[in-house]
A = this chain, B = another copy of it.
Amino acid sequence: MFLRYKEWVERELAQAVPKPPGSQMYSVLRYHLGWADCHGQPAKEPVSQGKALRPTLCLFACQALGGDPQRAGPAAAALELIHNFSLLHDDIQDRDVERRHQATAWSVWGEPKALVAGNAMQAVGDLALLAGARRQVPAGTTLRVSDMLTESYLEMIEGQCLDLDFESRTTISTDEYLHMIACKTGALIRCSLEVGATLGGGDPAATQGFARFGRCLGRVFQIRDDFLGIWGDPAATGKAVGNDIRRRKKSFPVVFGLEHATGPAREELLRVYRQDQLSEADVDQVLAALEGVGAAQMSQQLTQDNADQALRELEGVCLPGWARAEAEQLVDFLARRQF
């Protein structure tokens, strides 16, 4: 699926982002997207933009329902730009210095300009949707899609706010956690499919089927991400075992551990997460406590349950054979990926 839409996505993105000469703001955008170096010059070897999951899902849903993916191109670009806007701001908040094997925008241009460039990325995404979609889609549909995108984007922001709140808390229920990721990660993934289905001409039932599929897919994606952040193979992820523990991230296994550990193991977890910095011995303690409650198996189980559910949600939607096969491959890939 990713290969099928790779060129589409790249072309739509290139069309969506303006190139006014001499504007530093647009240089920051193009740098973050891997197209320009830190002087604003075209990158000699464009840096990989990752999987482009969201626009791919959007184009797939459109085509799976018999629509011309051309119609969904501007919305697909908007989804990727809004995702990248959140990455630009996330890097500032997390003080991350590297993303996609290059220095983060804030670490090159400073925080204020990266913040402002993030806002610009979001606006460029909105404009892409408004201008592009208008060319091929009735105004009423464009408005509906614009509404969906803005709603899901607001949900994503609410999720970011909840996530920030979790940083200072040690009692978070699994349900609270699942709500947070449904907002932070799930909303835009669900929206990608919903928007694609809408632009593909899907009837309300099909569009809702894709939306529910997307809701499950968001959980699959994030819980697998959380698993890899702790137990991923360092050779595949490029990060040490226990990386997310060291960063004190309240990811699913940790939330589950804090909820289910008892006695001294629980005390130990609470002690560790009350600290500002973790030692390697702390990391080992947490790994042992998570093993004690079976957090890794539970993560994998939850991922698989949602993967199964995702495919069930598509059962009622009438799809051509190629689309159903690709949906299955996608779910399988997201549930089992190593990086």
Q: Which A residues fall within an 8 A CB radius of B?
A: 23-25, 89, 92-93, 111-113, 115-117, 119-120, 122-124, 126-127, 130-131, 134, 138-140, 142-143, 146-147, 150-151, 153-154, 157-158, 160-161, 164-165
On whether the beta carbons of A119 and B23 are closer than 8 Å, the reply is no
A158 nearest CB neighbor, chain B only: B25
The 8 closest A-B pairs by CB, nearest first: A139-B139, A25-B161, A123-B154, A93-B112, A139-B140, A120-B157, A126-B150, A130-B147
28 pairs, CB–CB < 8 Å, chain A vs chain B: A23-B158, A25-B157, A89-B116, A92-B115, A93-B112, A93-B115, A112-B164, A113-B161, A115-B115, A116-B161, A116-B164, A119-B122, A119-B157, A120-B157, A120-B161, A122-B122, A123-B153, A123-B154, A124-B154, A127-B154, A130-B146, A130-B150, A138-B139, A139-B139, A139-B143, A142-B143, A143-B143, A146-B146
Chain B residue with the shortest CB-CB distance to A161:
B25
Residue pair A158, B89 in contact (C-beta under 8 Å): no
Does the CB pair B119–A24 fall under 8 Å? no
Q: How far is the CA of A24 from the CA of B159 in the complex (A)?
A: 11
Q: Is the CB of B89 within 8 A of A119?
A: yes
Copies in the complex: 2
Q: State the CA gap A84–B151 with chains docked (Å).
A: 19
Chain A contact residues: over half helix, strand or loop, or mixed?
helix
CB distance from A152 to the nearest CB of B (A): 10
Chain B, Cβ-Cβ closest to A151: B127
CA distance A111 to B146 in the complex (A): 29
Contact assessment for B134 and A150 in the assembled complex, using a CB-CB cutoff below 8 Å:
no
**Could you tell me if B150 and A123 are in contact, using CB atoms closer than 8 angstroms?**
yes
Given A130-B147, A164-B113, verify A120-B89 contact (CB < 8 Å).
no
A115 — which chain B residues lie within 8 A by C-beta? Answer: 89, 92-93, 115
* With A112-B164, A126-B126, A142-B143: A120-B24 Cβ-Cβ less than 8 Å: no
B residues less than 8 Å from A140 (CB atoms): 139
Closest Cβ of chain B to A137, distance in Å, is 10
- A117–B24 touching, CB < 8 Å: no
Of all chain B residues, the one with the shortest Cβ separation from A149 is: B126
